Chain A
Amino acid sequence: MTTLTIGLAQINTKLGDVQANLDKHLAYIDRAAAQGVRVLCFPELSLTGYVLQDLAPVVAHRPTADDPVFAKLLEASQRLDLMVGFVEEDKRHRFFIAAAYLSKGEVLHVHHKVYLPTYGLFDEGRFFAWGDSIRAFDTQWGRVGMLICEDFWHAGPPYLLWLDGADILLMQSASPGRGLDDGEHLGSSRWVEHVNQAYASLFTNFVAHTNRVGFEDGLNFWGGATVFDPDGEEVAHGPYFEEALTVAMLDLNHLHRARARLPLLRDERTALVLRELTRIVNKD
């Protein structure tokens, strides 16, 4: 049995203070390492805070060993794998909401957020460039895919990662709490948990999600990290609204059992999907 001990950090951040946020990352890495965590995930924009607006260019970094922030994180990744959230400035000086997966001193993958919500209370498209690719990547724990918040409000990105071989989906959010009614939880947290559970069920995958906590002006962030297993069952659930490190043990052989029972991946008709998508895209 191969067991992955995964840690989900749901932290508060200081808006625009990368050094303070880096220090908190390093403290959580110490805590997680002490608990045997092998992959530690942080929320969206965990190094910067979320509503950056005109701070976006100021807090941007490049995920390379000569960057002082990433030098520290890459060093820490000798101890355990990391997913962190940051603003990436590319060589052409475009600014992306980004997630980096770091392992053994190397950057294994960087994902740029492909869906920038620019409606309602969100204004990401005003300040950031749109990511343009969705790729799974190989890790020592199997093939992984990373998505950032609005990316998984759309069905396409998780579906593509599944077809690209990802058995573990790592989701990170800075999800503002909203939708107070007489239900047990906020509408926004209910929605996110439903879809993450649905992806685990539909793809017979592991789906881990972490979300920040705290406030930025009047926006609250609700935490509530979750892990769902390939049967769509909840494996772990972090507290709401509080900083926490939630640790879950994933039996990776669960993939074998779930897909023996329910061969959705085997029976997925990608050629048919592609054919019909092509027809739909071209019909006008």
Chain B
Amino acid sequence: MNSIADKLRINTDLARRILVAFIREEVTRTGLKRAVIGLSGGIDSALSCVLAVEALGADNVLAVRMPYKTSSPDSLADAGLVIEKFNLPDKTIEITSIVEPLFAHVPEADGKRRGNAMARARMIVLYDQSSAFNGLVIGTGNKTEILLGYSTIFGDAASALNPLGDLYKTQVRQLSAAVGVPAPIIDKAPSADLWVGQTDEGELGFTYERVDQLLYLLVDGRYNRDEAIAAGFEPAFVDRVITTIRRNQFKRMPPLIAKLSNRTVGYDFLYLRDWGS
């Protein structure tokens, strides 16, 4: 497996240069100069935040912490490490009082529904701050999470631009170490922190290191199922990951539009978002 791990190694200087320029150019070409980032205390949002600070300057990046009543105090403190390191403008807006009235209406809602509602409440807070701060919402979803659908559609998956979306989780770790994300954030177990004791790898049932290698073969390397198995991955693991990728395609797409006319948005009305800028 070492050779696949080697292929996931990236030139972090080059990645940093491209992603910082991406944030700077894609924010400023809209006429804005500021960004808003939800800081969870985890590695992805910390990395997006550091890159945005390099691109736009610390004064122009609003860090927003949005704990729920069961959120780990460590998450809040770890997010604080990034805020303190760069002396960022910040806000802490608890979402408990936003989501509890909904939960009172649907007391039967399970952890997944509650987690999704929390993710969407955070989206509402971020987009409100986006308007107030005059900054674009910078995304924090990595390639592993996007491919596995390990996110809430219209929740944490919502952003104006996402610098991390083509980096696997293990590459996010490499880049985070290179750009100075505080060590406690890099070293701790990844968690969505939607309930006490939750960890990504516990919930997913595999490690990021292992699944990133498989995803690299399937997606970047265009391996088929049998080739991935021949490369050393368990058949059941390969089948599960392939199915998960397919079933979550809907999270990676805008809503379907039913075609009726001769020219329809998304099918034959085709312009980049950067049209005219």
Q: Are A and B associated in one complex?
A: yes
A positions within 8 Å CB-CB of B: 14-17, 51, 53-55, 177, 180-186, 214-218, 220, 241
Using a CB-CB cutoff of 8 Å, which residues 1-19 of chain B contact chain A? Answer: 6-7, 9-11, 14-15, 17-18
Min distance, Cβ B158 to any Cβ of chain A, angstroms? 16
Known: A180-B14, A184-B11. A220 touches B275 (CB 8 A): no
* A180-B14, A218-B22 known; A53-B277 Cβ under 8 A: no
- The verdict on A180 contacting B10 (CB below 8 Å), with A215-B21, A215-B22, A215-B25 known, is yes
Q: Which 5 A-B pairs have the closest CB atoms?
A: A53-B270, A182-B9, A215-B25, A217-B272, A54-B270
B26 within 8 A of A: yes
The chain B residue with its CB closest to the CB of A177 is: B18
Q: A54-B270, A54-B271 are in contact. Are A181 and B21 (CB under 8 A)?
A: no
Cβ contact within 8 Å between B274 and A217 = yes
Contact partner of A182 (CB less than 8 A), chosen from B11, B17, B270, B271, is B11
B276 at interface by CB-CB < 8 Å:
yes
* Sample (9) of A-B pairs whose CB atoms are under 8 Å apart: A15-B277, A180-B14, A181-B11, A185-B14, A186-B14, A214-B25, A217-B26, A220-B22, A241-B17
- Bound-state Cα–Cα, A184 to B14, Å: 8
How many interface residues does B have (CB within 8 Å)? 26
Residues of A within 8 A of B276 (CB): 14-17
Q: Is A181 touching B7 in the complex (CB atoms < 8 A)? A: yes
Cβ of B273 within 8 Å of any chain A Cβ, yes or no, is: yes
Cα distance, A184 to B11, chains bound together (Å): 7
Listed residue (B6, B15, B26, B276) with the most chain A CB atoms within 10 angstroms of its CB: B276
Q: A14-B277, A15-B277, A241-B18 are in contact. Are A216 and B272 (CB under 8 A)?
A: yes
Q: How far is the CA of A17 from the CA of B11 in the complex (A)?
A: 34
What separation, in Å, do the CA atoms of A218 and B274 have in the docked complex?
Answer: 10
Complexed CA–CA distance, A60 and B173 (Å):
45
Q: Which residues of B contact A241 (CB under 8 A)?
A: 17-18, 21
10 more contacts with CB within 8 A, not counting A15-B277, A218-B166, A241-B21, are A14-B277, A15-B272, A15-B275, A51-B272, A177-B18, A181-B10, A182-B11, A215-B22, A216-B272, A217-B274
Q: Give the total number of A-B pairs whose CB atoms are below 8 A apart.
A: 62
CA A182 – CA B170 in complex, angstroms?
Answer: 13
Are A220 and B269 in contact, CB atoms less than 8 angstroms apart?
no
Report the nearest B residue to A186, measured CB to CB.
B14
A241 to B17, CA, bound (A): 9
Partner of A220, one of B7, B11, B18: B18
Question: B26: which A residues are within 8 A, CB to CB?
Answer: 215, 217
CB distance from B159 to the nearest CB of A (A): 12
Taking CB atoms, residues of chain B closer than 8 Å to A180 are: 10-11, 14-15, 18
B271 touches A55 (CB 8 A): yes
Which residues of chain A are within 8 angstroms of B21 by Cβ–Cβ distance?
215, 220, 241
State in angstroms the CA–CA spacing of A15 and B268 once bound together. Answer: 18
Find chain B residues with CB under 8 A from A181 CB: 7, 9-11
Q: Are B274 and A215 in contact (CB under 8 A)?
A: yes
Note all chain B residues with C-beta closer than 8 A to A185: 14
B273: chain A residues at CB < 8 Å are 217
In the bound complex, residues from chain B placing their C-beta under 8 Å from that of A51 are: 272
Q: How far is the CA of A54 from the CA of B271 in the complex (A)?
A: 6
Q: Which of B10, B15, B270 lies at the interface centre, i.e. has the most chain A CB atoms within 10 A of its CB?
A: B270
Q: Hey, which chain A residues are within 8 Å of B268, CB to CB? A: 54
A55 to B277, CA, bound (A): 13
Chain B neighbourhood of A218, CB < 8 A? 22, 161, 165-166
Q: Point out which of B7, B17, B275, B276 has the most chain A C-beta atoms below 10 A from its C-beta.
A: B275
| Cross-chain contact A53 with B22 (CB below 8 angstroms) | no
Point out the residues of chain A lying under 8 angstroms from B25, CB to CB: 214-215
Q: Of A14, A186, A218, which is in contact with the most chain B CB atoms at under 10 Å from its CB?
A: A218
Distance in angstroms from A265 CB to nearest chain B CB is 38
Residues of A within 8 A of B7 (CB): 181
| Bound Cα distance from A241 to B18, whole angstroms | 8
Instruction: Kindly supply a per-residue 1/0 record for chain B positions 233-277, scoring 1 wherever the CB is within 8 Å of any chain A CB and 0 otherwise.
Output: 000000000000000000000000000000000001111111111
CA distance A55 to B22 in the complex (A): 23
B11:A55 contact, CB within 8 angstroms: no
Inter-chain CA distance A205–B272, complex, in Å, is 38
B7 (CB) vs chain A CBs: closest residue:
A181
A79 to chain B, nearest CB (A): 30
